[in-house]
Structure 1
Amino acid sequence: MRILWHTQTCYKLRFVAEQVSHHPPISCFYCECKERRLCVSTHVWTKSKFMGMSVGVSMIGEGVLRLLEHGEEYVFTLPSAYARSILTIPWVELGGKVSINCAKTGYSATVIFHTKPFYGGKVHRVTAEVKHNPTNTIVCKAHGEWNGTLEFTYNNGETKVIDTTTLPVYPKRIRPLEKQGPMESRNLWREVTRYLRLGDIDAATEQKRRLEEKQRVEERKRENLRTPWKPKYFIQEGDGWVYFNPLWKAH
């Protein structure tokens, strides 16, 4: 899938995602803004478990944010996601600890997404602190709701408040289906999507079965020919994956 955003400041944000492996199901994401000379590359696969009335999904992998103007790389992990009350009125929350590290500057951050207690408590709470490792100094602390208001307190006494609900939301631009490749998500799943919108679950299930069977046949052909699956946009490097033409290599 390839997506493009245009912001009010005339910046273009380009995004591409691809599933690069089926076993395990690894997905890769790459996003860049050439005007600001920054890019993000992430690879992740999920591990799910049922917990009574909830489903938990662990995000295994990491991402790297590169600020080319400063020559800095920030390596970060991802929080887990939880679907709650799956048999009644479902809702979703994030939970777990996220780490962010920059080797060049010596700064690191720990962000904790707090899950809602069984009785009482707020949803979507988050706390964080930023540390300068060479001096072992906490330079900033933050708390609030990740989808609401966040308050930052710096070690010099300064405070800053960000209300995420007031931040602008820009619509994404995706090429029309007729201009998409055969393996792009909206094109590949278009018949399943069409029947879901019509409310015909049986027809959607049948279209999904046909698509998955076609993919299984293609996989058996590759196995017989001993031809490994080759992703289109990402290349494996060590234990991770990178975009084939990232901004940090092109400049």
Structure 2
Amino acid sequence: MPEAPQRNPYKVRFVAEQVSHHPPVSGFYCECAERGMCVNTHIWTKSKFMGMSVGVSMVGEGVLYLLDHGEEYAFTFPSAYARSILTVPWVELGGKVTISCAKTGYSANVTFHTKPFYGGKVHRVSAEVKQNSSGKVVCKAQGEWNGTLEFIYSSGETKVIDTNKLPVIRKMIRPVEKQGRTESRRLWQHVTAVLKEGNIDLATEHKHVLEEDQRSDERQRAANNMPWKPKYFNKEDDEWVYRNPLWKTH
């Protein structure tokens, strides 16, 4: 008899919520208790047209917590670009990202390289990891963020990771009818369905109805002097933090 497929021993929990309307900030939280890892982020976007492209800057910061090591890694985000928007659209990442850990004293600068106008490869990325106290580069990386990445250490050791060979486990999602009224897949189900059919006009109509409902709710809150109150995140200083993070249990 064929062997039964092994079950993944790890469970990943993900929560996302729009925590502010002006500006439109989204809060994200993800955790894997079995690996002692969690990440808390908040992002809002700035968009601009650039000829045949649209650029989207990701404004915000995230923190990755490695609880078994007591380490926190703060990081920023790359920008996203939609190219050839009037012909055959495609998307790439670009810009610089910083990663730092106060406990270890190491930091990294990561550059997402946009494709040159003529020639060149897409999705290229390069990075340097430094020891902050000495400025010594302890590791360099290069390759494609969605392909093969090569890591070269100061010791001379090298390591190659092919992201296409990493195991992928499909996420499990509750049926739409069992989701909450404001969960994204339920709220936008009609827009999604007609977009899959290629009916842009009907998708625009469904989107307009949703947006009008949201504007109506906002007007009602303003009339009753009731500010928007997120369900899953609290604002601490200038950060949006998940209310029941994994690090509180360690």
Tell me if TM exceeds 0.5.
Answer: yes
Bigger shift: residues 8-17 or 92-101: 8-17
Amino acid at match of 2:220: K
1:211-237 alpha-carbon deviations (Å, 9 max, x no partner): 211111111110011101111111111
Match in the other structure for 1:75? 74
Matched, 1:16 2:15: yes
- In the alignment, the residues of structure 1 paired with residue 8 and residue 189 of structure 2 have an alpha-carbon distance, to the nearest angstrom, of 33
- In the alignment, the residues of structure 2 paired with residue 8 and residue 22 of structure 1 have an alpha-carbon distance, to the nearest angstrom, of 40
Bigger shift: residues 204-213 or 33-42: 204-213
Q: Which runs of 4+ in 1 moved over 6 A?
A: none
- In the alignment, the residues of structure 2 paired with residue 197 and residue 22 of structure 1 have an alpha-carbon distance, to the nearest angstrom, of 28
- In the alignment, the residues of structure 2 paired with residue 13 and residue 167 of structure 1 have an alpha-carbon distance, to the nearest angstrom, of 16
Match in the other structure for 1:103? 102
Match in the other structure for 1:207? 206
| CA-CA distance at 1:195 after TM superposition | 2.7
Instruction: Specify the SS of the correspondent of 2:34.
Output: coil
1:90-119 alpha-carbon deviations (Å, 9 max, x no partner): 111100000000001100001000111111
Amino acid at match of 1:224: A
- In the alignment, the residues of structure 2 paired with residue 57 and residue 200 of structure 1 have an alpha-carbon distance, to the nearest angstrom, of 25
Match in the other structure for 2:153? 154
| CA-CA distance at 1:8 after TM superposition | 5.0
Instruction: Specify the SS of the correspondent of 2:182.
Output: coil
Bigger shift: residues 165-174 or 204-213: 204-213
| CA-CA distance at 1:128 after TM superposition | 0.4
Amino acid at match of 2:103: K
Instruction: Specify the SS of the correspondent of 1:210.
Output: helix
- In the alignment, the residues of structure 2 paired with residue 213 and residue 141 of structure 1 have an alpha-carbon distance, to the nearest angstrom, of 49
Match in the other structure for 1:163? 162
User: What is the number of equivalent residue pairs in this alignment?
Assistant: 245
TM-score (norm 1): 0.94
1:123-153 alpha-carbon deviations (Å, 9 max, x no partner): 1111101001122211100111111111000
Amino acid at match of 1:220: R
| CA-CA distance at 1:9 after TM superposition | 4.1
- In the alignment, the residues of structure 1 paired with residue 120 and residue 169 of structure 2 have an alpha-carbon distance, to the nearest angstrom, of 32
Q: 1:102 to 1:8 in 2, by over 3 A?
A: farther
Q: Structure 2 unaligned runs (5+)? A: 1-5
Instruction: Specify the SS of the correspondent of 1:173.
Output: coil
| CA-CA distance at 1:250 after TM superposition | 2.5
Match in the other structure for 1:115? 114
Matched, 1:50 2:69: no
Residue pairs, 1:175-186, within 5 angstroms: 175-186=174-185
Q: 1:88 to 1:203 in 2, by over 3 A?
A: closer
Match in the other structure for 2:35? 36
Residue pairs, 1:209-224, within 5 angstroms: 209-224=208-223
Amino acid at match of 2:127: A
Q: 1:8 to 1:109 in 2, by over 3 A?
A: farther
| CA-CA distance at 1:170 after TM superposition | 1.0
Amino acid at match of 1:205: T
Match in the other structure for 1:191? 190
Amino acid at match of 2:206: Q
1:41-83 alpha-carbon deviations (Å, 9 max, x no partner): 1100000010001110000000000000011000000000001
Match in the other structure for 2:3? none
Instruction: Specify the SS of the correspondent of 2:206.
Output: helix
TM-score (norm 2): 0.95
| CA-CA distance at 1:40 after TM superposition | 0.5
Match in the other structure for 1:3? none
Amino acid at match of 1:113: F
